[in-house]
Amino acid sequence: MDDIAPLELVPSPSSPREASVKSNAVVKYSLVESPVLYAPLRHNTDIKLPPENWLSSSAASRGLNDTTRPVSSGFSSFRMANMFPESVGEVDVVSDAENIKKLLKIPYSSKSVSMVVHRVENTLLIDEFDIHKHLLSRAEDEWA
């Protein structure tokens, strides 16, 4: 871990803050483990015809593992932590990139941010949580 250079985040010039933020963030795993392998086409292949597996819903047939699910379905950090259970406790934060972006934009935006944070050992699992949608669904249940 000594050979990892610290990541330096510098605020935009229009921001009122002048201090830079330093982080030793490390991306341990990539979303797609290996690049998709392409097979060369045979001579005189008609590319207007669809391949045999074009209606397959299997993500593995396209070289994708778990990337076809929408990001907002459930708690994405649980899914990521479940994919790499040996990392829980070693990694500081497990979250979707969009959630990290929202957290970093908090000082520069007046928008409200609603997230849920779970602590597992020394690891924080951060997920988006739409509090307004949750309150509306609870209100509907109470009136039904």
Enclosing domain of residue 133: 7-29+45-143
- Looking at residue 6, its pLDDT comes to 58
> 2 in a domain, yes or no?
no
- Looking at residue 132, its pLDDT comes to 75
- Tell me the pLDDT band of 69, cut-offs 50, 70 and 90: very low
Strand partners, 115: 128
Tell me the pLDDT tens digit for each residue of 2-47.
555 555 555 555 555 555 667 776 666 656 566 667 778 888 888 8
> 89 in a domain, yes or no?
yes
Strand partners, 88: 91
How many domains does the chain contain in total?
A: 1
> 14 in a domain, yes or no?
yes
Total-model pTM: 0.41
Tell me the pLDDT tens digit for each residue of 42-66.
888 888 877 676 665 555 544 445 4
> 58 in a domain, yes or no?
yes
Burial readout 17-51 (b: 16 or more C-beta within 10 A, e: otherwise): eeeeeeeeeeeeeeeeeeeeeeeeeeeeeeeeeee
- Looking at residue 68, its pLDDT comes to 45
> 84 in a domain, yes or no?
yes
Start-to-end CA distance of the chain, whole Å, equals 56
Tell me the pLDDT tens digit for each residue of 90-140.
777 888 888 888 888 989 988 888 888 888 877 888 888 877 777 777 666
> 15 in a domain, yes or no?
yes
> 38 in a domain, yes or no?
no
